[in-house]
Amino acid sequence: MSIHIEAKQGEIADKILLPGDPLRAKFIAENFLEDAVCFNNVRGMLGYTGTYKGHRVSVMGTGMGMPSISIYARELIVDYGVKTLIRVGTAGSLNKDIHVRELVLAQAAATNSNIIRNDFPEYDFPQIADFSLLDKAYHIAENMGVTTHVGSVLSSDVFYSNMFERNLKLGELGVKAVEMEAAALYYMAAQHGVQALAMMTISDSLVNPDEDTTAEERQNTFTDMMKVGLETLITE
């Protein structure tokens, strides 16, 4: 077992969904996986392994923010041999044409975090998705009839920020949404040579605040994203 995950070797599949909320991991396991078994409850960060359409897959929460997902992603990759990681999270729209409950696939992730800059202070190291996963997810979502947007997102180090207006300016430059994990996940994948993709359901909007969802809705109702994530994991 690793420092933050109590699973024994072999209890985690090499393909995993990573919601931020551990209760969303529980919801996915209970509603989409067959014979799901809990492999982690350290710090309440629930993780499960089961089968989806005959394929062995896992799902585990990562918590909020880039430090948290970096810890779990690294341990999953290094200590448990996970090869494919898909974030299934939530994001806030930065664009008036992107609405609540629509799906965003993060082709790239800009960030104001120093996590990557600490390693490469001379460069703006690009955080990009695995193209194979991105391509699969887009076509799966399209075939399901899910309204989907592909492009860059902002991975922010802060939730309550005084950068509101500047974040909106990024939206004017084509950034689709703001969230808090994708850039770190992509960096972990680049470091260790594995596949990663971040997909987010828009749960609130910085430009259309009357569309915002409740905590319960964010935990239990974003099932289109969950299906797209699972289908992407198992598609060869």
Tokens of 202: 């828009």
Report the SS3 class of residue 215. helix
Tokens of 114: 């120093």
The model's pLDDT over 161-182, given as tens digits with 9 standing for 90+, comes to 777 778 888 988 999 999 999 9
Report the SS3 class of residue 16. strand
pTM check: above 0.75: yes
Q: What is the pLDDT of residue 163?
A: 73
Q: Which amino acid is at 235?
A: T
Whose structure tokens read 């999270």? Answer: 89
The model's pLDDT over 34-60, given as tens digits with 9 standing for 90+, comes to 999 999 999 999 999 999 999 999 999
Task: Indicate which residues carry an active-site annotation.
Answer: 204
Whose structure tokens read 């041999």? Answer: 81
Report the SS3 class of residue 124. coil
Q: Known binding site for a purine D-ribonucleoside: residues?
A: 4, 179-181, 203-204
Sequence-ordered alpha helix ranges (H) in 50-93: 66-80
Q: Known binding site for phosphate: residues?
A: 20, 24, 43, 87-90
The model's pLDDT over 113-128, given as tens digits with 9 standing for 90+, comes to 888 888 888 888 889 9
Distances (CA, A) of 134 to 48, 138, 177, 225, 233: 24, 6, 17, 13, 11
- Check if the beta carbon of residue 97 is closer than 8 Å to that of residue 29: no
Q: What is the pLDDT of residue 221?
A: 58
Q: How do strand 103-111 and strand 47-52 relate by DSSP bridges?
A: unpaired
Give ∠ CA 81-68-161 in degrees, rounded to 5.
Answer: 145
Q: Quick one: 215 exposed, middle or buried, by C-beta within 10 A (0-12, 13-18, 19+)?
A: exposed
Q: 199 phi and psi, to 5 degrees?
A: -125, 135
| Residue 219 pLDDT greater than 70, yes or no | no
